[in-house]
Amino acid sequence: MTERFVVVGGDAAGMSAAATARRRRRRDDLEIVVFERSAHTSYAACGLPYLVGDVVHDPGALVARTPEAHRAAGIDVRTRCEVTAIDLDRRRVEVRDLPGERTVTEPFDRLCLAVGARPVRPPIPGIDADGVFGIQHLDDGVALRRAVDETGPRRAVIVGGGYIGIEMAEALVRRGLEVALVEALPAPMPTLDADMGALVADALAEIGVATYLAEPVRTFERDGDGRVAAVVTDRRRLPADLVVLGLGVRPDARLAAAAGIEVGPTGGVVTDERQQTSVPGVYAAGDCVETRHLVSGRPVAVALGTHANKQGRVVGINVTGGQATFPGVLGTAVAKLCGYEVARTGLTEREAGDLGLDVAATAVDDRTRAGYYPGAAPIRVKLVWEAAGGRLLGAQIVGQEGAAKRVDVLAACLWNRMTVDEIVSLDLGYAPPFSPVWDPVLTAARVAAGAREARVG
């Protein structure tokens, strides 16, 4: 008898689950149905800043696979269909045909929730004014780009100095706007320690972004037409033709919670390593779940396409009789701000301290290539480590070309619980166009090892 695998949500996680399952089971053996609220599948939300910045010219380029292509591959994709409830006892979902004309129920044998995240929208007066843009879905990016293309804005204010904030700063600087960035905390990139965040603040200044730190937004002022006119903090009023919100997202676990599926302390759906929820046969993947931070051991919700893809693959394997796991995350992230690069993995010094760990940190300033080789760019590498044993806990990098992806080596070191002393010996690739004779990662480890020896005495 044909089984039925139903996926709720047709972006990275959901379509990875569906496509992986499809490759592993024949059509007459497993029917796969995906319900997606929007008209799109498998689009790269991470690419939206580059669409707005006109680095990417065509929104279609951000769509990895259209609904038609998925259908041709044997996946029954139903766009503009919203799942409004899950009936766990009767193993079926309630589906509303948008714009809401018809509701039907659809049966499933196995289910995957991949409904994504919701943007954080604090109740600041005027936050819903025209001209205030979020940048979560493909349509948001298209709308913001159209606003830049067609309304000739001169001044933009970005609210929030995280990844999206700095990527949008680059995008709007590229488009010739006067850009201000407002952040409630004392440094941009709150996922970095303040000393490394300060380098990002310098980079923002360097590319001409006026940055206002430790200034929560109090109001979005509207003009007579209801359009946003200014962003107001305790200390200033910043006139704005458009505003971009980069305030982060939260897992969307409403559907799961309503069905009685366990939701964790982060607000994300709880799963085991096989991405199965508290209900057998019901899986979840992507921005709607929480996962385990492999250094702190704590649950975290990290909305990132790469995790969504991996978790979706794990679901696709497990619903088709295979065995795959997603052990958790390290919190690795990289971002580009014009010529600058920012990266982090693991715990910051502050996070490690908050967990009660006896933590030490060291930083080195180095170059991305041999000093005599053209294009050798500055890079600062900060390592956070356990003071006693020297175990690496986290790393942060700010630099220029060639800096950010060096974080991957440190992520692999963290994954394997290496100490800074062990990392010094690592056999990394060396040639003058690629690295100094000591790669900056190794120099950082060497300095940490030296500091540890000095502490231990």
Task: Out of 446, 447, 448, 452, point to the residue binding a second copy (CB under 8 A).
Answer: 446
Asked if 310 touches a second copy (CB under 8 A), the answer is yes
- Provide the Cα torsion 65, 69, 71, 76; round to 10°: 10
CB 344 within 8 A of CB 191: yes
From 141-149, 151-159, 185-193, 339-347, span contacting a second copy (CB under 8 A): 339-347
Asked if 439 touches a second copy (CB under 8 A), the answer is yes
CA distances from 63 to 22, 68, 91, 261 (A): 20, 12, 32, 31
Query: Smallest gap, in angstroms, from Cβ of residue 300 to a second copy?
Result: 11
- Residues 60 to 119: which contact a second copy by CB under 8 A? 61-62
Q: Which is nearer to a second copy, 354 or 453 (CB)?
A: 453
From 39-47, 153-161, 225-233, 257-265, span contacting a second copy (CB under 8 A): 39-47
Asked if 207 touches a second copy (CB under 8 A), the answer is no
- What token pair was written down for 390? 């020297």
3-state helix/strand/coil string of the chain: CCEEEEEECCCHHHHHHHHHHHHHCCCCCEEEEEEECCCCCCECHHHHHHHHCCCCCCHHHHECCCHHHHHHCCCEEEECEEEEEEECCCCEEEEEECCCCEEEEEECCEEEECCCEEECCCCCCCCCCECEECCCCHHHHHHHHHHHHHHCCCEEEEECCCHHHHHHHHHHHHCCCEEEEECCCCCCCCCCCHHHHHHHHHHHHHCCCEEECCCCEEEEEECCCCEEEEEEECCCEEECCEEEECCCEEECCHHHHHHCCCECCCCCECCCCCCECCCCCEEECHHHECEEECCCCCEECCCCHHHHHHHHHHHHHHCCCCCCCCCCECCCEEEEECCEEEEEEECCHHHHHHCCCCEEEEEEEEECCCCCCCCCCEEEEEEEEECCCCEEEEEEEEECCCCHHHHHHHHHHHHCCCEHHHHHCCCCCCCCCCCCCCCHHHHHHHHHHHHHHHHHC
Asked if 345 touches a second copy (CB under 8 A), the answer is yes
Query: Per the residue annotation, which of 46, 288, 338, 413 is the catalytic one?
Result: 46
Is 288 annotated in the active site?
A: no
Asked if 307 touches a second copy (CB under 8 A), the answer is yes
Nearest to 222 by CA among 146, 125, 157, 144: 125
Task: Out of 138, 441, 448, 451, point to the residue binding a second copy (CB under 8 A).
Answer: 441
Query: Smallest gap, in angstroms, from Cβ of residue 100 to a second copy?
Result: 32
Query: Smallest gap, in angstroms, from Cβ of residue 457 to a second copy?
Result: 12
Asked if 372 touches a second copy (CB under 8 A), the answer is yes
Asked if 29 touches a second copy (CB under 8 A), the answer is no
Binding-residue pattern over the window 255 to 294 for a second copy, x denoting contact by CB under 8 A: ---------------------------------------x
From 1-9, 44-52, 140-148, 261-269, span contacting a second copy (CB under 8 A): 44-52
Asked if 248 touches a second copy (CB under 8 A), the answer is no
Binding-residue pattern over the window 144 to 173 for a second copy, x denoting contact by CB under 8 A: -------------------x---x------
Q: How many residues at the interface with a second copy, by CB under 8 A?
A: 71
Asked if 339 touches a second copy (CB under 8 A), the answer is no
Query: Smallest gap, in angstroms, from Cβ of residue 50 to a second copy?
Result: 6
- Residues 376 to 435: which contact a second copy by CB under 8 A? 402, 404-409, 411-413, 415-416, 418, 424-435
Asked if 364 touches a second copy (CB under 8 A), the answer is no
From 87-95, 209-217, 264-272, 366-374, span contacting a second copy (CB under 8 A): 366-374
Q: Which is nearer to a second copy, 106 or 408 (CB)?
A: 408
- What token pair was written down for 320? 């088709």
From 154-162, 194-202, 322-330, 380-388, span contacting a second copy (CB under 8 A): 322-330
Query: Smallest gap, in angstroms, from Cβ of residue 69 to a second copy?
Result: 15
Task: Out of 325, 339, 354, 389, point to the residue binding a second copy (CB under 8 A).
Answer: 325
CA distances from 375 to 320, 369, 403 (A): 49, 7, 12
Query: Smallest gap, in angstroms, from Cβ of residue 342 to a second copy?
Result: 9
Asked if 39 touches a second copy (CB under 8 A), the answer is no
Q: Which is nearer to a second copy, 85 or 415 (CB)?
A: 415
> Which amino acids are annotated catalytic?
46
